[in-house]
A = this chain, B = another copy of it.
Amino acid sequence: MNRPTLAVRRLGIDTWRENVAFLHRDCPVVRAAGFQALSKVTIAAGGQSIAAVLNVVDDAHLLEPLQLGLSEQAFARLGAADGDAVSIEHAAPPPSHAALRRKIAGERLGREDLHAVVADIAAERYTKVELAAFVVATQQYELDREEVLHLTEAMIAAGRRLDWNGSGGGRPIVDKHCIGGVPGNRTSMLVVPIVAEHGLLCPKTSSRAITSPAGTADTMEVLAEVELAPERLKQIVHAVNGCLAWGGTAALSPADDVLIAVERPLAIDSPGQMIASILSKKIAAGSTHLVLDIPVGPTAKVHSEAAAQRLKRVFEFVAERLGLTLEVVLTDGRQPVGRGIGPVLEARDVMQVLRHDPQAPQDLRAKAIRLAGRMIEFDPAVRGGDGERIATQILDSGRALARLEAIVDAQGRRAEPPPPGPLVFDVPAPADGVVAGIDNLRLARIAGLSGAPQMAGAGLDLFVKLGDAVRRGEPLYRIHACVAADLGFARREALHDSAYAITGGAR
Query: Using Cβ atoms and an 8 Å threshold, which residues of chain B touch A17?
Result: 38
With A34-B451, A128-B132, A266-B129 known to touch, is A140 a contact of B105 (CB < 8 Å)? yes
With A104-B136, A129-B265, A132-B136 known to touch, is A37 a contact of B58 (CB < 8 Å)? no
Copies of this protein in the complex: 2
Interface residues in A486-505 by Cβ distance below 8 A to B read 486, 489
Query: Using Cβ atoms and an 8 Å threshold, which residues of chain B touch A261?
Result: 38
Interface centre among A89, A265, A267, A485 (most CB of B within 10 A): A265
Query: Using Cβ atoms and an 8 Å threshold, which residues of chain B touch A56?
Result: 13-14
Interface residues in A246-277 by Cβ distance below 8 A to B read 261-262, 265-268
In Å, the complex CA distance between A61 and B13 comes to 11
The answer on a CB contact under 8 Å between A483 and B33 is yes
Query: Using Cβ atoms and an 8 Å threshold, which residues of chain B touch A12?
Result: 57-59, 61-62
Interface residues in A1-50 by Cβ distance below 8 A to B read 1, 10-17, 22, 25, 32-34, 36-38, 40
Number of A residues with CB within 8 Å of any CB on chain B: 61
The answer on a CB contact under 8 Å between A22 and B13 is yes
The answer on a CB contact under 8 Å between A14 and B37 is yes
The answer on a CB contact under 8 Å between B38 and A139 is no
In Å, the complex CA distance between A137 and B13 comes to 32
**Residue-wise interface mask of A (109-141) relative to B, using a CB-CB cutoff of 8 A (1 in contact, 0 not):** 000000000000000000111111101110110
The answer on a CB contact under 8 Å between A13 and B55 is yes
The answer on a CB contact under 8 Å between B127 and A265 is yes
Interface presence of A484 (CB below 8 A)? yes
For the complex formed, measure the closest distance between the CB of A302 and the CB atoms of chain B, giving whole angstroms. Answer: 15
Interface presence of A331 (CB below 8 A)? no
18 extra interchain contacts, Cβ-Cβ under 8 A, other than A14-B55, A89-B485, A90-B485? A1-B482, A1-B483, A12-B57, A12-B61, A13-B22, A13-B62, A15-B37, A15-B55, A33-B483, A38-B261, A58-B72, A104-B139, A127-B128, A127-B265, A129-B129, A129-B265, A133-B133, A133-B266
State the A residues within 8 Å of B (CB). 1, 10-17, 22, 25, 32-34, 36-38, 40, 55-59, 61-62, 71-72, 89-90, 92, 101, 104-106, 127-133, 135-137, 139-140, 261-262, 265-268, 451, 454-455, 482-486, 489
